[in-house]
């Protein structure tokens, strides 16, 4: 094998790895955006969820117009506290704004790629 052929293989592998990483990021962003958008239209929805340990989670859940912090694990689900809407809604709006900007950036990149 000559050096140029090996260089082409390495280049192809690097391009594939970059494309897979970009696709993974895109899927994560779109799923997060979908969750943020659907939260406002549903009667009950999970706003945010974080894994604390292998089997324990803490979640912010919206029920109608109220927000609750729930803890869950092997023992079940427990109400930790009610969160005032004014503590959650500004964060939600900021996340929606960021998701919208990211979607516009991605769609702009796709338009540039497809034009070529």
Query: What does the pLDDT average to over 85-114?
Result: 84
Q: CB neighbours of 51 closer than 8 A, spacing ≥ 6?
A: 57
Domain residue spans in the chain? 3-115
Q: 111, 114, 102: which is closest to 26 by C-alpha? A: 102
Q: 92, 42, 46, 43: which is closest to 69 by C-alpha? A: 46
pTM of the model: 0.56
β-bridge mates for residue 72, sequence order? 57, 77
Query: What does the pLDDT average to over 24-32?
Result: 74
Tell me the C-alpha to C-alpha distance, in Å, between residue 62 and each of 25, 69, 90. 26, 9, 14
In terms of phi and psi (left: phi > 0; alpha: psi -120 to 50; beta: otherwise), the region of 58 is: beta
- Residue 70 to residue 93: CA distance in whole angstroms: 21
Query: What does the pLDDT average to over 61-71?
Result: 93
Query: What does the pLDDT average to over 99-116?
Result: 79
* Range in 25-34, 41-50, 68-77, 93-102 with the lowest mean pLDDT: 25-34
CB 70 within 8 A of CB 58: yes
Query: What does the pLDDT average to over 40-44?
Result: 73
pLDDT beyond 90 at 7: no
The answer to whether the Cα torsion of 46, 44, 83, 65 is positive or negative is: positive
- Residue 56 to residue 48: CA distance in whole angstroms: 14
pLDDT beyond 80 at 34: no
């Amino acid at each position: 094998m000559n050096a140029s052929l090996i260089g082409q293989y390495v280049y192809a592998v690097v391009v594939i790895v970059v494309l897979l990483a970009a696709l993974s990021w895109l899927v994560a962003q779109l799923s997060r955006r979908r969750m943020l958008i659907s939260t406002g239209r549903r009667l009950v929805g999970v706003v945010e969820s974080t894994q604390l340990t292998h089997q324990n989670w803490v979640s912010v859940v919206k029920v109608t117009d109220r927000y609750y912090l729930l803890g869950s694990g092997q023992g079940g689900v427990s109400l930790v506290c009610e969160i005032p809407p004014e503590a959650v809604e500004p964060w939600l709006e900021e996340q929606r704004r960021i998701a919208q900007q990211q979607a516009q950036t991605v769609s702009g990149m796709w338009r540039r790629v497809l034009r070529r």
